[in-house]
Amino acid sequence: MTDTTPEAGGSAPEGGSRPEPSPAPRRRDAARSRELLIRAATELFAERGFDRTTIREIGERAGVDPALIARYFGGKTQLYLATVRLELGDTAPADLLEEDRLRTLLERLAQRGPGPSFQAAVLPGDNTEVQQAARSFLHERLVQPLHDRFTAEQADRPRLRAELATAAFAGIVLARAGGAFDELTEATPEDLLPLLHDLLAAARPAR
């Protein structure tokens, strides 16, 4: 009788089942693709704006299939919102008058520059959906914490004070990135921190 038992380490018999590949590499690939798409989208939205950036261009810069944008994010608008969350952080923020919060934002913006949320929220744009999303997120992450502080301090017109402080911060960030003012552009986050903190603190009620 001929022995048909496969040798140890040999291939499975024809028609036999093979073990399914581990899902771990697929999860790693998906996470890497998402990261590349967010990074590419952040760069392109900052360079060209939302409307002038195409899904195909994002995929090409990321080096992945553009169809993955719909798969992982649902579309270009949702991908844009993912870049905004990365720019301002996903954790519940302290307000800008908390020194650690201000330092963290300044360091992040110094490394990456102002992302699409600042530009879309502050500058005129054609896409109202994106602009409204950027403004809502900016209000949630920057204005609302200041509003809560000023309300607790029983300041008059706490919302206006919070919006003034946020507008000052956003304007400085954009002016610094644009290179309009030499010393402002060259200043480090540590240079800016005490001066900007004092400027924002001027929105607090007099004691």
Domain extents in the chain: 25-88, 89-207
- pLDDT reported for residue 201: 92
Evaluate if residue 147 carries a pLDDT over 70.
yes
Tell me, what's the pLDDT at 83?
Answer: 84
Q: Specify whether the CB–CB gap between 155 and 204 falls below 8 A.
A: yes
Domain 25-88 listed as CATH 1.10.10.60 = yes
Position with higher pLDDT, 132 vs 33? 33
Q: What confidence score (pLDDT) does residue 198 get?
A: 94
Length of the chain: 207
Nearest to 166 by CA among 185, 140, 184: 140
The model's pTM: 0.68
Q: Which two tokens stand for residue 90?
A: 């996903």
Token pair in block for residue 139: 């209000």
Higher pLDDT, 98 or 85: 98
Percentages helix, strand, coil for the chain (3-state, rounded to 5) are 65, 0, 35
Residue corresponding to tokens 């890497």 = 32
Query: In whole numbers, what is the pLDDT of the chain averaged over residues?
Result: 83
Residues 6+ apart with CB under 8 A from 134: 84, 116, 117, 120, 121
Q: At how many degrees (to 10) do helices 55-62 and 23-48 cross?
A: 120
pLDDT: which is higher, 165 or 46 = 165
pLDDT grade, residue 148 (50/70/90)? Answer: very high
Say what the alpha-carbon torsion angle 123, 42, 83, 196 is, to the nearest 10 degrees. Answer: -60
Contact 105/189 with Cβ under 8 angstroms?
no
Contact (Cβ atoms closer than 8 angstroms) between residue 55 and residue 66: yes
Does residue 170 register a pLDDT over 60? yes
